Chains A and B, each alone.
Chain A
Amino acid sequence: KAGVTQTPRYLIKTRGQQVTLSCSPISGHRSVSWYQQTPGQGLQFLFEYFSETQRNKGNFPGRFSGRQFSNSRSEMNVSTLELGDSALYLCASSLSGQRVGGNEQFFGPGTRLTVL
């Protein structure tokens, strides 16, 4: 079974631009969560989608948004990029979402975003 895939793997943008990252979950998984990983803040939860609906949202500004399609693929968008948005963005999928205790999340390799 194929794992979680994320595209692109690396991205370089300049301040003020916008960016869209893509995540394809494991086949049959209906939940996709996004995380931001930085050396200073560590791993921080961005949002979770389940069956095309956002179920949870982390403490990030409105410049960060996402969506999920009917095939469970998800995209996240960051508008008006700032230098501090440079990070590794990780996507994770699971069968039933984060409300189910012990439900394992499978992570993709991440997209490394650099903002210049």
Chain B
Amino acid sequence: GDSVTQMEGPVTLSEEAFLTINCTYTATGYPSLFWYVQYPGEGLQLLLKATKADDKGSNKGFEATYRKETTSFHLEKGSVQVSDSAVYFCALRGNTPLVFGKGTRLSVIA
């Protein structure tokens, strides 16, 4: 079945550091890909999405490119802030309901 694998956390970075969170997927067909973010005590918020190969999703300085050849959708940000501290989930939707990765906890220290 469809699945998502993302890098284990936690990830701890200093403010203004570069962020990469790796995400790879297994799916039949052409799934849509998503990154969600969960702040403490809250539900999930959609951060960005891409619906076809080579699409780049971007929002709030975060970017991810849908790479069908490597089945990847890595999340990047050039300069993280303390306010980016949260748990990040990679997800896909193909012929099934949303399938999530395990989540990566990011802590940014000043």
Check if A43 sits within 8 Å of B89, measured CB to CB.
yes
Check if A105 sits within 8 Å of B43, measured CB to CB.
no
> How far, in angstroms, from A90 to B42 measured CA to CA in the complex?
10
Of the residues A98, A106, A108, A109, contact of B97 by C-beta under 8 Å: A98
> How far, in angstroms, from A14 to B10 measured CA to CA in the complex?
33
Q: Taking the complex as formed, is B41 at the interface, i.e. its CB lies under 8 A from any CB of chain A?
A: yes
Specify which of A43, A56, A58, A98 lies most central, judged by the most chain B CB atoms within 10 Å of its CB. Answer: A43
Of the residues B41, B44, B97, B101, contact of A90 by C-beta under 8 Å: B44
Chain B residues with CB under 8 Å of A109's CB are: 41-43
**In the complex, which residue of chain B has the Cβ closest to the Cβ of A106?**
B46
Q: Which of A90-116 contact B (CB under 8 A)?
A: 90, 92, 98, 101-102, 104-110
Check if B46 sits within 8 Å of A108, measured CB to CB.
no
20 contacts between A and B (CB under 8 A): A4-B43, A35-B98, A42-B100, A43-B89, A45-B96, A45-B99, A58-B97, A90-B44, A92-B44, A98-B93, A98-B98, A102-B49, A104-B46, A105-B98, A107-B36, A107-B43, A107-B45, A109-B43, A110-B42, A110-B43
Check if B93 sits within 8 Å of A33, measured CB to CB.
no
Check if A42 sits within 8 Å of B45, measured CB to CB.
no
Q: Which of B76-110 contact A (CB under 8 A)?
A: 89, 93, 96-103
> How far, in angstroms, from A75 to B64 measured CA to CA in the complex?
35
**In the complex, which residue of chain A has the Cβ closest to the Cβ of B46?**
A104
Specify which of A35, A58, A105 lies most central, judged by the most chain B CB atoms within 10 Å of its CB. Answer: A105
Known: A98-B93, A101-B93, A104-B49. A43 touches B100 (CB 8 A): yes
Chain A residues with CB under 8 Å of B42's CB are: 109-110
Supplied contacts A43-B89, A56-B97, 12 more A-B pairs, CB within 8 Å: A42-B100, A43-B44, A43-B100, A48-B97, A56-B96, A90-B44, A102-B32, A104-B49, A107-B43, A109-B41, A109-B42, A109-B43
Query: B95: shortest Cβ distance to chain A, in Å?
Result: 9
